[in-house]
Chains A and B, each alone.
Chain A
Amino acid sequence: MTTPTDSRGGDPARVSRRPPPWLRLPRQTLLRHLLLAAVAGVLAFWLSDNVGAFTDLQLSNVAAYTIALAGLTVLTGHNGQLSLGHGAFIAIGAYSTGLILEHTSLPIIVVLLAAMGVTAVAGGIVGIAAARLRGPYLAGATLALAVALPSVAIKWSSIFGGEQGITVDPLTPPSSLGLTFPPERWVAWLALLTALIVLVLLANLLRSRVGRSFRAVRDDEIAASLAGVHVARTQVLAFVVSAACAGLAGAFFAFNVQLVAPAGFPLALSIALVTGIVVGGIGSLVGAVWGGILLVYLNQEATDLAKHFHISAAAGANGALLAYGVLLIAVMLVFPDGIQGGVRRLARLVTRQ
């Protein structure tokens, strides 16, 4: 590709390489993100409408993981704070949902917003502590949170239902959709729509002044504070945004599993989330989608394999965990950009020819 006569510069080549006007994305950030989201939404709608109840449940799990991973990738990839305790925030969101539905009959949108709000407050509290911590200290403190939180549910079992947890009634689709409409598809629609909204909002946030200050703090705190960025406030904000996403994801996990119990939020969940963003590509929102697909797919694949070889479901679950561990190490050692990094490289190769 590189010839000695290549020294005349890349400009003419670059002009000819630009796609024709009708293929170009709009330049306004919001418009571009909305357009992409609309395309993804139509695809997701078509997909969810043409599959069975089980796949709808899977889609809704992918959407829930994507929401949580998108939040975590903003925190870790753009703000440089690694949280090993995001499983705890998912638990807070799920428990809030379970408790609200147990005691009230508020509309679903209010329940989702409330679960998100409660988790955001919790994230703010942890974030204030986290803003003073760096690297391994922050990782250790959030790890302690992930280990400690299930004990809260067991200790105050009169509120949180102890080991048995709280059962969550399945969501009923609105009657306008007809009586035979599968409830899984309704939850999948809600989850996919929420995931798209979250992705558009986060994509805009990252392109804004706030997103730039996130990255400024990540790259050099001293330089950022000299440039007028309030370092601690920025870090707490990133934590709140990220926790709010985890809480929203937790609400959807509560609807999907229809049970909120301490055993559903082990340390392995927090590590699975880190696996999701690392393998998807740290810092990339599209990577969060890859990560969500991967986590759900790996779990399913492991369960299927276990069934195929007639070994217990627990062994299958451990197979998935083993895969997470190996993937985490392998991606970090040889492929640090993750899936989205690979996709980008591939796209660059294609457009160059």
Chain B
Amino acid sequence: MHRFVSFTLDGITNGMIYAAVAMALVLIWRGTRIVNFAQGAMGMVTTYVAVSLVDRHISYWVAFTVALVAGLVLGALVEVTLIRPVENKSPLVAIIVTLGLLIALEASAALIWGGRFRSFQAPFSIVGLKVGRSQIALSPFDIFTIGAVLAVMVGLLVLFRRTATGLRMRAAAFEPEVARLLGVRVGRVLTLGWALAAVAGSLAGLLVAPKLFLYPNNMDAVLVFGFTAAILGGLDSPVGALVGGLVIGLALSYVGGYLGADTESIGAFVILIVVLMARPGGIFTRINPRRV
């Protein structure tokens, strides 16, 4: 029972991180119908930026903010320079470009910061809290993780539902031609979407690093888990991304906990295939899946 509770708490924390990655993928998918396979690698790079600042004795919070801003800039930069030229070409082209970005970022990080595993000190303890006499698998850092992802999610929700910018973004994603006719600067809105997605991705990178160490491809598996979560949620729905992230987090925590840590990525592959076969539109989508 105690083990089950531990795995559940672990699963919720990890699930929030996967939800952040899934959210980033959903944001970009809604705007540009592209899956950004470099999302994880972009978060990894901005996390390295934070670590280098902390190494120079700059406060964690400054480093944290700088990493998120770096994510914002990187996201916008990638959209303008690499994605804009391939936006109207075959989907294969965009996938290959993000794949090229993934491998280029990982290789650059390894060349700049070295390939070794690095620890990333968090301002909170990563040792589990004590409830009564027993220690539970929920550390102050885990609570921070859950809170930070929730804050970003709520922030995005408010942006989408309550602001004029959010309305423009939804319009541009839903019907770009009409939005353009109504005076929405669609290109600029798409850039903003990529920038915000990269912030969510950077957050995931910052939150993964204290638990998993930081190394150039530490986000590979996280990206796959986030992608699985996004697919589960329908790839189109922000709420789906959150729920998908939690479900995947819990499922993989149980799989890893009971069958051994190496089985997590196998579990994710199996879940992904089962979901794609049984319910290709995910559990939240309102759009009918494509049929021939």
Contact = CB atoms under 8 A, between A and B. Distances in A.
B96 A332 contact: yes
A274 interface: yes
A245 interface: no
B89 to A, nearest CB: 8
A314 B97 CA distance: 25
Contacts of A84: 37, 99
Contact of A332 (B97, B223, B273, B277): B97
B4 interface: no
Interface stretch (A6-14, A129-137, A203-211): A129-137
B144 interface: no
A318 interface: yes
A318 B95 contact: no
B269 A329 contact: no
Contacts, number: 148
A155 interface: yes
B125 interface: no
Contacts of B105: 325
Interface residues of B, number: 50
A326 B108 CA distance: 11
Contacts of A319: 107, 111
A44 interface: no
Contacts of A329: 82, 97, 100-101, 104
Contact of B103 (A129, A143, A154, A328): A328
Given A151-B262, A325-B104, A315 B111 contact: yes
Contacts of A135: 91-92, 95
Contact of B272 (A144, A321, A322, A326): A144
Interface string B236-280: 000000000000000000000000101111101100110011001
B227 interface: yes
Interface in A156-209: none
B53 interface: no
A279 to B, nearest CB: 11
A140 interface: yes
Contact of B276 (A132, A225, A325): A132
Contacts of B265: 144, 147-148, 151
A151 B103 contact: no
B292 interface: yes
A139 B35 contact: yes
A333 B97 contact: yes
B34 interface: yes
A144 B280 contact: no
A336 B92 CA distance: 11
B96 A141 contact: no
B20 interface: no
Contacts of A133: 276, 280
Contact of B269 (A148, A322, A327): A148
A221 B217 CA distance: 37
B66 interface: no
A76 interface: yes
Interface in A121-135: 129, 132-135
A324 B110 CA distance: 14
Nearest to A126: B273
A134 B97 contact: no
Could you say which of B99, B106, B263, B276 has the most chain A C-beta atoms within 10 Å of its C-beta?
A: B99
A132 to B, nearest CB: 6
A144 B103 contact: no
B27 interface: no
Nearest to B290: A134
B202 interface: no
A228 B154 CA distance: 51
A152 interface: yes
Contacts of B82: 329, 333
Contact of A325 (B107, B223, B272): B107
Contact of A137 (B37, B111, B266, B280): B280
B111 A147 contact: no
B102 interface: yes
Contacts of A336: 93
Interface string A26-67: 000000000000000000000000000000000000000000
B132 interface: no
B85 interface: yes
B187 to A, nearest CB: 17
A140 B231 contact: yes
A129 B273 contact: yes
A91 interface: no
A145 B104 contact: no
B224 A144 contact: yes
A285 to B, nearest CB: 19
Nearest to A316: B111
Contacts of A315: 110-111
Given A132-B276, A145-B269, A327 B115 contact: no
24 contacts: A82-B92, A129-B276, A136-B34, A137-B276, A139-B95, A140-B35, A140-B37, A141-B276, A143-B37, A143-B223, A144-B228, A144-B272, A148-B224, A155-B266, A222-B292, A315-B111, A318-B111, A318-B115, A321-B103, A321-B107, A321-B110, A322-B111, A325-B100, A329-B82
The 4 residue pairs across chains A and B that have the minimum distance between CB atoms: A325-B104, A328-B100, A321-B107, A322-B107
Given A84-B37, A132-B277, A327-B100, 10 more contacts: A135-B92, A139-B37, A315-B110, A318-B111, A324-B103, A324-B104, A324-B107, A326-B104, A328-B99, A332-B96
Interface of B: 29, 34-35, 37, 82, 85-86, 91-93, 95-97, 99-108, 110-111, 115, 216-217, 220-221, 223-224, 227-228, 231, 260, 262-266, 268-269, 272-273, 276-277, 280, 290, 292
